[in-house]
Structure 1
Amino acid sequence: MFDLDGWQEIFQSIGKNKLRTVLSGLTITFAIMLFTILLGMGNGLKNTFKSFFSRDAENAIFIMPNNTSKAYRGYQSGRRIEFKNEDVDYILENYDGSIEHIIRRNQRQVDITYKNKKSNYSLISVDPEIQFLERAVPYEGRFINKLDIQKKSKVIVLGRMTKKDIFPSGVSAVGKYVNVAGLAYKVVGVFTDPGGDNEERLNYIPITTAQALYGNNDKVDQINILYNSNLSTGQAIAFGNNLVRDLKDRFDIAPRDQRAIRVINRAEVVQGTKQTSGALDMIVIIISIGTLIAGIVGISNIMIYIVKERTRELGIRKAIGATPSSIIKMIMFESMFITSIAGYLGMLIGIGVLSYAAPGLEKYFIKDPQVDTGIVIFATVLLVISGIIAGYVPARRASKIKPIEALNDA
């Protein structure tokens, strides 16, 4: 490194040429600032995609019956498909090795009352494994269990917001009885859900209880499956396709009828999300590289101009005894100093802009637009190295000029 005299010369040069220093620094500052903002916004878009699908388990398949849209095997179009418990058994018998959990689900809107507080909520009739799919976590009491299913118990698990709505503050709901559409249910737990307030206004009861009380049948509105998490994305998609094919054959549905059985396979969603994230990464990388290249070209042009402008000064330095190597080192370290400070300032400004704009960006589907400072520092170092190289070439050329020629340079 330079000694104290060397650093004093650098600061004197910067002080005497403030405009030149500011202009060269602004190029680096703007390039790093723009790079940071673009990278942060790209990450924010990816965070938004992830948040859309983080509320439920990723290895989920949702199967919902509907009306047929095509005539097939003597049946007219418009026939209503209905699932029953036996269809769940059929799936388990044929695909047991690919399934971690299978969940029956029915839903209805009901009034839930506790003392003088009443409101309308969704009552979800399910198997206990729904908590793994919905990622619901009891924070009071417990969740529905297998014994509740076997005994067809009149028990209910309230969502956190339901409990907040109808129970007084500070009063535990566990062990209390609530009126659900005219029937008394014992509260055995209260749960939280990462899906937020709307998900926490759902309320769960055993599906066997609902089937016995509301229709006395074995009807199932929806079948949810958590497939084996060891399956690859391709295997999970193939599993879902085979399952739908077999169900269509079981219900005499035309193979090309896309409406009769609606399926949401999270594996397909995950695959699409990965492809979208990959495309976003490519766009951000291309734009970021373009920004850095523009910064490199800018600092290179500025350094060439700066060295040419200082040809007379360099000639005087050589005339009074400065060696070519000392001149080269001075210019290179001055370039490194300016680009380092300017790059760090650009990073701080970029991060500050992202932090300030983050709340307002959420409405544009850009969530938590943060950046990996390591990547930004790498980009800054790249520009610093480019600035050093850009300064070295003209500095080396200038160091070879004879003092008399430099002094005569206009």
Structure 2
Amino acid sequence: MFDIDRWREIFQSINKNRLRSVMSGFTVSFAILLFTLLFGIVNGLSNSFTSAFVDDAQNSMQVRVRKTTKPFKGLQTGREIQLRNDDYNFVKDTYKDKIQYQSARIYKNFTLKYKNEANNYDVRAVNPDHQFLEKTIIDEGRYLNERDLNEKSKVIVIGRLVKEDLFGEKPALGKRLNVNGSSYLIIGIFSDEGGDNEERIAYIPVTTAQNIYGNNDYISQINLGYNPNLSLDAAIAFGNKIERDLRKKLNIHPDDQSALSVRNMAEANKGVGMFMGALYAIVILVGSGTLVAGIIGISNIMIFVIKERTKEFGIRKALGATPASIIGMVVQESVLITTIAGYLGLSLGTYILSLIGNNLEEKYFIKDPSVSPAIVIAATVVLILSGLVAGYVPAKRAANIKPIEALRAD
């Protein structure tokens, strides 16, 4: 492997057959370049899908209700469906073994005011588990807790941009905020990876909202986080069962999709997974086909090289060279050409992806196309194996030729 004389002979052979070596290396280089670009683009699509749901838990599920569009059990079309605490508790008690997090949600839009600064913001009344469902990041203070719910406390957690709008650079934690005419204590300030819109929101306890704004037990939505140990298929079946049971409980027609729907991230994750799996399979198929063509090209080049060196190999064998030494020399040359050409293609592909960056995100939803270190390592192994395969067959043929036949070859 580290024989200087052998390496000298290999480089002399490559130099003697420069055009053939370049052409054979080009096929491998092109194959790796194509594979790198395709894989990077598919990774970019995957990054776009991931970032689209970055601010929500991947195991989240949302139960939403609207007006009915089908009559059922003597009830007319256009009936407004209203979720209540009883429905929330029904889900909580019935499926507690399959639920990791659960929160009600009530949507409000209030004027928030501090001294001379005021503006309208979305205010969501929620349970403490909502922090994990929405992946809320607490920067200062704390989130809502069970004591806030039990005592129906007038406390509020505000987004980072709400704090900037109303307080500027001044501290906001512990200050009193006028919320639609009522005084609330700011107990926390949060940020959210979902962007500016998610950081211009405020959260209050759901019990407080029910008590002050309506004196009822109405809720707008039920948010769940299913047990992460459930498979995607099991999570989808779980979501379907919740939907069926709530339809039955609320007297909604089984086919009335408008009246009640369950948005299940498991379905989205499964769909994205299948789509990305198909794309990766296509990339591997195309890349493998191109790589196989490159291997065949190198193998053919090695056959021509061996033909030209038949007499040389015969003399080597006559002087005592073993078949293994001849095979090793030919295979080593093949691996060298393949590895150098492959890494040129890999380096060029990686460089092109870095130049692309996020330029394709807006039009083609391709975000940060790149190849991972694992792919680079796998490519290294593939290149070495490809060189071995490409060189071994002709090398084996050359090693088996008899010295007398080799010396007679034209």
Fold match (TM-score > 0.5): yes
CA 117–395 in structure 1, closer or farther in 2 if over 3 Å, else same: farther
Structure 2 match to 1:377: 380
Contact 2:36–2:349 under 8 Å retained in 1: yes
8 Å contact 1:33–1:350 — kept in the other structure?
yes
Superposition pairs of residues 134-149 of structure 1, within 5 angstroms: 134-149=134-149
Counterpart for residue 216 of structure 1 = 215
Contact 1:109–1:122, Cα closer than 8 Å, also in 2? yes
Whether the 8 Å contact between 2:296 and 2:390 is mirrored in structure 1 is no
* Aligned-partner residue type, residue 139 of structure 2: Y
Match of 2:389 among 371, 376, 386: 386
SS in 1 for 2:172: coil
Q: Aligned pair in 2 of structure 1 residues 194, 254: CA closer, same or farther (>3 Å)?
A: same
- 1:322-359 per-position Cα deviation (integer Å, ceiling 9, x unaligned): 95846554433322222222222222222222222232
1:365 aligns with 2:365: yes
Between 91-100 and 59-68, the greater mean CA deviation after superposition = 91-100
User: Are 2:189 and 1:190 aligned?
Assistant: yes
Alpha-carbon shift at residue 216 of structure 1 (Å) = 2.5
Is the counterpart of residue 249 in structure 1 residue 252 in structure 2?
no
**Structure-to-structure mapping, 1:86-165, within 5 angstroms:** 86-165=86-165
Displacement of 1:37 in angstroms is: 2.3
1:241-390 → structure 2 map (5 Å cutoff): 241-308=240-307, 310-311=308-309, 314=312, 323=321, 325=323, 328-363=327-362, 364-368=364-368, 369-371=370-372, 372=374, 373-390=376-393
How many residue pairs were aligned?
405
Query: How far, CA to CA, are the matches of 1:332 and 1:121 in structure 2?
Result: 70
Quick one: which amino acid aligns to residue 167 of structure 1? F
- Are the aligned partners of 1:101 and 1:225 in contact in 2 as well (CA < 8 Å)? yes
Q: Matched residue of 2:189: which SS?
A: strand
Structure 1 unaligned spans of 5+ = none
Provide the rounded CA distance (Å) in 1 between the counterparts of 2:141 and 2:379: 48
Work out whether residues 298 and 391 of structure 2, in 8 Å CA contact, stay in contact via their aligned partners in 1: no
TM-score normalised to structure 2 length: 0.88
Instruction: Assess if the C-alpha contact under 8 Å between 1:299 and 1:390 holds in 2.
Output: no
What secondary structure does 1:360 align onto?
Answer: coil
2:67 is matched with 67
The 3-state SS of whatever aligns with 1:173 is coil
1:218-251: CA deviation from partner (whole Å, max 9, x where unpaired): 2111111223333333333232222222221222
Distance 1:86 1:330, change over 3 A: closer
* Alpha-carbon offset, residue 130 of structure 1: 0.5
Q: Against the structure 1 CA distance between its residues 334 and 241, is the aligned structure 2 distance closer, same or farther, given a 3 Å change threshold?
A: closer
Whichever residue aligns with residue 112 of structure 2, its letter is: I
Q: CA 1:43 to 1:391, structure 2 compared with 1: closer, same or farther past 3 Å?
A: farther
Pair 1:181–1:313, CA change in 2 (3 A): farther
Q: Provide the residue aligned with 1:78 in structure 2.
A: 78
Letter in 2 for 1:382: L
TM-score by length of 1: 0.88
CA deviation digits over 1:178-232, x for unaligned, max 9? 2333333221110122323322222101112222222232211111122333333
> Is contact 1:36-1:376 (8 Å) kept?
no
Contact 1:328–1:399, Cα closer than 8 Å, also in 2: no
Shift of 1:387: 2.5
Asked if the contact 1:335–1:391 (Cα under 8 Å) also holds between the matched residues in 2, the reply is: no
CA 1:315–1:222 in 2, change beyond 3 Å: closer, same or farther?
closer
Task: Measure, in 1, the Cα distance between the counterparts of 2:404 and 2:291.
Answer: 32
Map of 1:175 onto structure 2: 174
Find the aligned partners of 1:46 and 1:279 in 2 and give their Cα distance.
12
> How far is the alpha carbon of 1:318 from its aligned partner?
6.2
